[in-house]
Amino acid sequence: MQKQSKKGRRQAHILENLDINPAMRVGELADKLDVSSETVRRDLAELDAAGRIRRTYGGAVRTTTFEPVLAERLKLHVTAREKIARHAMTLLEDADSLLIGGGATTLHFARALKSIDRQITVLTASFGIAIELATNPLIEVISLPGKVEPKEGLLHGPETLEYINRYRTPIAVMGASGIDETGVSEALLSAAQVYEAMIRIADHTIVLADGSKMGNRSLRQILSWGPDTTLVSDTAPTSAIRHAFDEAGAAFRIAT
């Protein structure tokens, strides 16, 4: 995974501060980030242009990033997600372990994976995925500890992050709230922190995203495109995303 630039990290910290306090002044942000007010103003202008915040006189407010809860999303784009899940299965090769993030498309992937006829270990922070996979005795399921996010059926928090860091896996399979030329983004901050940790310990990340996610940018970027990433979708990427893939050496697969 490519590391964020200094500016990218700074802007991520601005968003995190606005998640806690949705309205902040330039001077407050400059003090928290230990940078000049002019630097903060430039960052706020870029974030405003990207639709991630709204500038106000002397400061900024957080725009609302909304994604339906998991139960609702599972009813959407079912055919596309099933095709994506089946194609992702062909990319596992002989991996003996993998991480699976939460979300609707990854749950479809788990439903495809549960018919696997060889031994494999799966680590996940998703209740639904753990339950799906536990029906196959060949799959060793490790359910990560943490606090429960009930609408997503996801475990998160410091204990989850600490536990993830004990492991190394060849593959992480992740969903996405948004896909654009900069990478993958996630709408739920607590989930984003878990997914970032998963991506860090995996040798390769497979991102599953149907066409509705293309060109969207959500709350927090969790992954930048690189040679250790593969995107699987039912839709061809935009020219901007395709160019970013070529520049970064990332792979793209269309599920048919």
Q: Are both 194 and 236 inside the same structural domain? A: yes
What percent of the chain is modeled with pLDDT above 90? 66
| Pairing relationship of beta strands 169-174 and 97-100 according to DSSP bridges | parallel
Reference 33, options 47, 13, 16; nearest CA is: 13
Residue 134 pairs in a beta bridge with: none
Q: Are both 43 and 83 inside the same structural domain? A: no
Alpha helices in 143-215 (DSSP H): 158-164, 189-201
Both structure tokens of 34: 């230990």
At 129, the amino acid letter reads: I
Residue 163 maps to a domain: yes
What mean pLDDT do residues 194-221 have? 94
**Alpha carbon distance 122, 140 (integer Å):** 6
Residue 124 pairs in a beta bridge with: 100, 143
Domain end: 28, 46, 62, which one?
A: 62
Residue whose token pair is 């997914």 = 195
pLDDT tens digits, residue range 135-154? 999 999 999 999 988 778 89
Q: Looking at residue 74, what is its pLDDT?
A: 65
Domain end: 17, 33, 62, which one?
A: 62
What number of other Cβ atoms are within 10 A of residue 211's Cβ? 15
Q: State yes or no: pLDDT of 116 exceeds 60.
A: yes
Both structure tokens of 148: 């429960």
Domain end: 18, 38, 62, which one?
A: 62
Q: Looking at residue 171, what is its pLDDT?
A: 99
**Alpha carbon distance 29, 14 (integer Å):** 7
Burial label for 55, CB within 10 Å (0-12, 13-18, 19+), is: middle
Q: Are both 160 and 214 inside the same structural domain? A: yes
Q: Looking at residue 73, what is its pLDDT?
A: 65
Q: Are both 40 and 147 inside the same structural domain? A: no
Q: Are both 100 and 136 inside the same structural domain? A: yes
Q: Which of 74-88, 178-192, 215-229 is the least confident region?
A: 74-88
Burial label for 29, CB within 10 Å (0-12, 13-18, 19+), is: buried
Q: Are both 15 and 132 inside the same structural domain? A: no
Q: What is the gyration radius of the CA atoms in the chain, in angstroms?
A: 18
First CA to last CA across the chain, in angstroms? 27
Q: State yes or no: pLDDT of 55 exceeds 90.
A: no
Q: Looking at residue 66, what is its pLDDT?
A: 47
Q: Is 130 left (phi over 0), alpha (psi -120 to 50) or beta?
A: alpha
Q: What's the chain's length in residues?
A: 256
